[in-house]
Amino acid sequence: MSFKYHNESALCQAIQNESRRGTPEVGIVSPIEMYESVIIILVTGFFAFLLAFLFSYIRKHIYKDEDNLDISFDAGGNVNAGLTATTVVSQWTWAATLLQSSTVAAKYGISGSIWYAAGASIQILLFSMLSIQLKTRAPGAKTFLQVIRARFGKRTHITFCCFALVTNVIVTAMLMLGGSAVITSLVKLISVEYATTLIAAILGGYTLIGGLGATFYVSYCNTAIIYIVMIILIFKVYEEGGDDSNPLGSIERVFDFVSCSKGPEGNKDMSYLTIVSDEGLMFGLINIVGNFGTVFVDQSYWQSAVAAKPKQGVLGLLLGGLAWFAIPFSFSTTMGLAYVALSAKQGEGLLTDDDVNAGLVPPVVAYHLLGKSGAIMIMVMVLMAVTSTGSSEIMAVTSIIIYDIYANNLKPYRMTTDTNSCILCGKGRGRMANPRDKCTCISMTFCQNCHQDTKNRAECRRAIKPEYKCVSHGQYREYNDYLSHLRNWSLVWTTIAIIPLTITLYMIQASLGWTYLFMGILVGSAVIPITLSMFWERLTGVAMMAGGISGTVAAIIVWLAVASTYDGGLTDWYNNTGKEVAMLCGNLVSILGGGLVTIVVTFLTNRNYEPGRNEEVWENTRDIDNPLSPWMEKYQKELNLSGAHRLDNRASLAEVRKAFKRASNMAFSISISTSLILVVVWPASMVAVGVMNLGEFVGWVKLSEVWAFLAMILMIILPLVNEAWDIWSALTVRNKVGNGDDEELIRNMASHVKSSLQSQQGRRNVSITSTVPPAKAKPNSVIEENHEETADHVSTISTGIDQQSVTPSDFANPTSLKDATALGLFQRPIAPNSPLPPVAFSDTELPSTANDDRAPGYQNSGTGNGPLSPVSLPKQDVPAIEFSTPVKSAAVEKSKRSTDSMASTNSRFLRSEASLPLDKQEKTEFMDSDFSDVIAHTVPTSTPAKSNLADVRSEISDLDEPLF
């Protein structure tokens, strides 16, 4: 980059005379030997592998997480705010953050520093609003594209899958361009192919081992290293004190050199020490537009939101955005101005224009100030940035391939017509379900057969594990295992694809700066449609597609048209298409044109929209869920929700909004106000300053130093404290549970359920009753179903039996799953007023049973094992209905039930809806077999009804078998 002195003052004349005494050094020396670079890369990889194994160990042995698909992509869904913040900082710290920010500071002065930092921080801050929208309106979604699919269908979904994948390609390209440029410039005799292969192997290896969770741990360490190295360089440039080895070392010396340097013609007084810069402002606008695209359209940031609960996610994004601001602001203020100062000292630029655009400003400054150790520091910083963001991009691409391309379009588990249909049984759920054929599936968490399957597979030492025996979840778990296998291959192939991508970009000589400015033209048009999909109920899929596609096409046309007006036209491709004006026009047309088309087409295609349908729009997105681990279980504490294991039992949208209203208010208020301060108030106030004097420059530098130091302390201490507390809490729970037995775990949860029920009693007016019979009582009326090779399932109708209320204090320490059922862990009230076919029972004598351990509710009419006495029914008949296991399909229903699942038949609990009229109170009886294996309804009524026993059997239609 050419260099000129700004004025002929005595100070500048002295600096100019001193510069003539030495020989200028142009270009960068490669001080690192290739074997040293290989050792650095391998040590970094080994450290990342250790962290990945550590995360896997903690999740498996402390949190007791299952090795399933969702854990790989959401890290358990309960990541704390500290880890979320440090992960956001690490993900958003690209190689471009370190290299390109210093480049624009060296080219435009302090305007480049502030516009890079502010123009790329507001996206993270504002993304917190989208995060809380996703977590309240689609809590079970793993990608933002699943929300688009649920709302707008397949075509719109595929269109924005393309936008998301293009974004991941662009971000990965910039990572590898910056990383390979630094490594090849600092390391002797190393090729781009070799460096790229080493980095790709590290990325794929530890991401494959630990999944998304490993990226959280690695991101924490990488962020800490980046901040520490940055603080060292800041101290070296501004605070060490000048000597022969350090030509800078103080703020005053840096100011003297920079103030004597001639800046761009668009800067006020051609000074580097002013924010009034035409080129700097154009870069700021391009930066804002382009980074909106690479945050809002990049699945990796949505993954960070998915991995945390709403409050923790919002707080993590806000803290992460403010902490990240320090990296480009402080680092570029230091390295960019140090480059200008060192160039002034020798009277010529340290690098050529091509090297500056390639992002080599930080390496050359570090080498001049610290020698070989400085070059190693920069290499480590860039390597940290590449590994953290690269692993996040790999996980983002893999999640799109698995959840959106394969599971949604190519090979779904079940061809359901909409998300409201249960993926396990195919029946309707919630508001659209037929009460006679409604899904009553439960989650895997409280399924005894699933726990037995997990135990059997864990104890099996063979390569081929036993098949899943659970008839409810077994096939879906097998499908998830297949997706996990596919995930591993997707990770491998995505990692391998990085190598030819980087080599191709290197061969066509695409620079980091050009790619950074160009990204907004391709993906900026998708920003407003995606944002509206989380907020605007009236939005249509046609409008989203029209806005996204037309915005990109128009942006490319405008960009090329403006570039062709320069000398040489499009034949001088990189110079003319990379001009600030051409890039600015293309970026603005992309984001504004795409948004305008989306809004206009929405009003044209949805003119008859009814505002009353707003809630139904979001019910479709709330149906997105994993039936093995529904989102209600994760939020049951925040929502005071009992019976969260039932897939059909979830809080309303209004209840979810109310529970997270504080987080929503915090996201909207802090993100908007802080964004306005960073991009409007602060730059406007600096315009009044004009060109800085020494005192104002000292204040600017001190601000950058304090911000960097506070951000370092926050990002090192907060995640460590949060994670240590979470691990300690998990260990405490595990120690109380003992050996981790399911019933012990339920006893540990009893206190929480008790408080949950007490809060629910006032809101839902639910009372729980239990039938308490004499010991070894015999039934008055029994309906027996005999199955071959199985135990008998008995479903009874209780008539005239004394009932007593069961309060939570009665079961403060439940001793079995049956007692826990009374606390509401395994039940929810069935929808009232459901039509039930009537049944009448004659006064005939029922068969006897040799089992003395009969279920509570039977009445003894004799001694020993003699015949049972006839039933004393009231004069009116009692209608009742018996359902078979609700989660079984027709084919499975005909199969034999295992003896284990039928063994526990000696306890029942009744739950009544006290809020119903007395003559229509509904009581649901659960038998403690598979937690809800047999359900019987008894509804007192004043209307006599008679029917044969055969009429009780409900007809079950055949359902589709799972597809692989």
Looking at residue 792, what DSSP letter applies?
Answer: P
Average pLDDT (126-131) is: 92
| 741 dihedral zone (left: phi>0; alpha: psi -120 to 50; beta) | beta
Rounded-to-integer distance, Cα 716 and Cα 707, Å: 14
Which pLDDT does position 827 carry in this prediction? 38
Of 185-199, 313-327, 430-444, 478-492, which has the strongest mean pLDDT?
313-327
For 629-672, the pLDDT digits (tens) are 788 777 777 777 666 666 667 778 888 888 889 999 999 999 99
Which tokens in the block code for residue 480?
């998830």
Give 563's contacts (C-beta < 8 A, 6+ positions apart).
Answer: 569, 570, 576, 577, 579, 582
Rounded-to-integer distance, Cα 582 and Cα 712, Å: 38
Phi, psi of 256, deg, nearest 5: -60, -45
Which pLDDT does position 675 carry in this prediction? 93
Which pLDDT does position 348 carry in this prediction? 82
Looking at residue 402, what DSSP letter applies?
Answer: I
> Is pTM beyond 0.85 here?
no
703, 114 Cβ separation under 8 angstroms:
no
For 900-948, the pLDDT digits (tens) are 333 333 333 333 333 334 343 333 333 333 433 333 333 333 344 333 3
Give the SS3 label for residue 480. helix
What percentage of the chain carries pLDDT values higher than 90?
23
Rounded-to-integer distance, Cα 632 and Cα 754, Å: 18
For 814-847, the pLDDT digits (tens) are 444 444 443 444 433 333 443 444 444 444 344 4
Which pLDDT does position 751 carry in this prediction? 46
Phi, psi of 428, deg, nearest 5: -75, 155
Q: Is the pLDDT of residue 527 over 80?
A: yes
DSSP-derived secondary structure for 181-221 = HHHHHHBTT--HHHHHHHHHHHHHHHHHHHHHHHHHHHHHH
Average pLDDT (246-259) is: 88
Give the SS3 label for residue 682. helix
Task: Taking each helix axis as running N to C, give the angle between helix 251-259 and helix 10-19, from 0 to 180 degrees, rounded to the nearest 10.
Answer: 90
**CA neighbours closer than 13 Å in the CB half-sphere of residue 783:** 19
Q: How far is CA 658 from the centre of its chain?
A: 22
Comparing C-alpha atoms, which of 494, 521, 520 is closest to residue 393?
494
What percentage of the chain carries pLDDT values higher than 70?
71
Average pLDDT (66-76) is: 70
Token pair 């290299």 is found at 99
Comparing C-alpha atoms, which of 831, 836, 775, 771 is closest to residue 805?
771
Give the SS3 label for residue 737. helix
Rounded-to-integer distance, Cα 743 and Cα 738, Å: 11
Comparing C-alpha atoms, which of 572, 163, 298 is closest to residue 582?
572
Rounded-to-integer distance, Cα 953 and Cα 17, Å: 102
Rounded-to-integer distance, Cα 677 and Cα 730, Å: 40
Largest CA distance in the chain: 119
Under the banding of pLDDT at 50, 70 and 90, the label for residue 430 is: low
Indicate the pairing of strand 880-883 with strand 935-938.
antiparallel
What one-letter code names the amino acid at 507?
M
| 944 dihedral zone (left: phi>0; alpha: psi -120 to 50; beta) | beta
Who has greater pLDDT, 476 or 71?
476
Which tokens in the block code for residue 744?
């012990």
Which pLDDT does position 41 carry in this prediction? 83
Q: What is the mean pLDDT of the chain?
A: 74
Residues in the chain: 964
Comparing C-alpha atoms, which of 117, 955, 24, 129 is closest to residue 532?
129
